[in-house]
Structure 1
Amino acid sequence: MVEEAPSVPGGAHEPIPYEALVDLVRENGGQLRIDLSTIEVGKERKWRIPYLGYGRAWAKRIQGTCNGILVDLVTTEVGRGRKWTFPYIGYGFGWAKSMRGDAGGNEIVLTAKKVGLEKKWGFPYFGYGFGWTQEMSGECGGQLKADLSTTDVRRHRKWGFPYFGYGFGWADKCTLTLTLKE
């Protein structure tokens, strides 16, 4: 799954030159932390015979602001996984494998480094799998390193007749850290 990063509606925040962003990071002690929140979640449900349900969710789009700089990131590739256990318990996992976006108009590219997976079950045959991206790393131009870490995970359970359990988990709150490469 590959998507282009959508433009930010309304143009509420003006782009800043890359050197101004680097100077802001430098003035902040070489690191700038920006809190981000998920504003759009991607979800999918699948099932297999006899009674295995696989639910997957991921943070499709996250945003935040710091010092008037808008950060907007979109998932460009989704990681997927599934497991099952006897008798009919299926666990589906989904996470943001790569993200792309910008900070004040300056491109950021991130790739997942660490993924969180969690399995829960319910009587009689419901399996709920939750997956999310725990850590990502990448770059923002040639002078800044970008690291994203999840600070809060959201989970949601659904079920379908007769024994399909669907677990959805995604990174709800994150912190993006821009660091000078020097």
Structure 2
Amino acid sequence: MYCPNCRCEFEGWVGRCPNCKTPLIDESPHVQEDVSKPISYETMVDLVRENGGQWSIDLSTTDVGTQKKWGFPYYGYRFAWVKRMQGTIDEISVDLSTTEVGTEKRWTFPYFGYGYAWEKRMEGNIGGNMISLAATNVRRERKWRFPYSGYGYAWTQELSGECGAELRATLIATDVSRKQGWRFPYFGYGSAWTQKGILTLTANE
């Protein structure tokens, strides 16, 4: 089941999106492809410099990856991560995809197993210009509540990288979605992912 608003996938027994309360649908919502006009790298650098050396773009997650596993003694854990983020500014589109996912699972009383997943690397383009980012700050949380038997959340709070030779890039999470569930034999699982973020381009001095 999918949320047509958040564009996230959930278990079939969930009737409404835990994030926005929108009724779920059976098919994944269509993600609009990039139809904006490309911009030359020189023009983009000039735009950043004309804006005081920094240019910020709001991004939203349009696709989320999920995975649920069970293995003794973990009693079930769930991974979730951003697969794709998109945004537009001044008719210039940004399209980022996760190319490497980090995962980790742990077991400590009374948590009975919990899993973490986060975006280690993202790549894409801004108006046709390539951008590459790597995680520099990963957040983790763990909680315990009957009958969940412990669950963990993780998301990438910040990624940094470059867009060509003259621009540095930083992506910071501004809104994080969390989901928890319980279903035999998983005994509770939680997952988190970035729902919104701000991509900032900074001109090199």
Query: TM-score scaled to structure 1, two decimals?
Result: 0.91
TM-score, normalization by structure 2? 0.81
2:111 and 2:58 map into 1 onto residues whose CA distance is 40
d(CA) in 2 for partners of 1:142, 1:57 = 33
Return closer, same or farther for 1:143/1:90 CA change in 2, 3 Å cut-off: same
Would you say the 8 A contact 1:90–1:165 is kept in 2? no
**Greater length-normalized contact order (CA 8 Å, ≥ 6 residues apart):** 1
The answer (yes or no) to whether the contact 2:122–2:134 under 8 Å persists in 1 is yes
The CA deviation at 1:15 is: 0.8
1:82 to 102, 105, 123: 105
Question: Is 1:98 matched with 2:124?
Answer: no
Specify which structure has the higher proportion of strand. Answer: 1
Residue 77 (structure 2) pairs with residue 66 (structure 1)? no
Tell me: CA distance 1:51–1:131, structure 2 relative to 1, closer, same or farther (3 Å).
closer
Structure-1 residue corresponding to 2:182: 159
- Change in CA separation of 1:180 and 1:90 when aligned onto 2, cut-off 3 Å: same
CA distance in 1, matches of 2:33, 2:60: 19
Q: How big is each residue's C-alpha offset from its partner over 1:14-59, in whole Å with a ceiling of 9 and x where there is no partner?
A: 1110001001101111000001000000111111124521111111
Structure 2 CA distance for partners of 1:87 and 1:149, relative to 1, 3 Å: closer
Show the counterpart of 1:145. 168
Give the Cα–Cα distance (whole angstroms) in 1 for the partners of residues 33 and 105 of structure 2. 39
Equivalent residue pairs, number: 175
Partner of 1:172: 195
Task: Pick the aligned partner of 1:126 from 149, 152, 171.
Answer: 149
SS of structure 2 residue aligned to 1:122 = coil
| Whole-Å separation in 1 of the counterparts to 2:96 and 2:33 | 17
Measured in 2, the distance between the counterparts of 1:18 and 1:84 equals 48
What's the counterpart of residue 18 of structure 2? none
Aligned identity (percent) is: 59
- Which structure 1 residue ranges, 5 or more long, are not aligned? 1-7
Distance 2:87 2:118 in 1: 20
Render the CA deviation track for 1:86-118: whole Å, top value 9, x for unaligned.
Answer: 256211100000000000000000000000101
Detail structure 1 runs of 4+ shifted over 3 Å in the superposition.
8-11
Give 1:165 deviation, angstroms: 1.3
Q: Partners in 1 of 2:176 and 2:80 — Cα distance?
A: 11
RMSD of equivalent CA atoms: 1.6
Could you tell me which runs of 5 or more consecutive residues in structure 2 were left unpaired when the two chains were aligned. Answer: 1-30
- 2:13 aligned residue: none
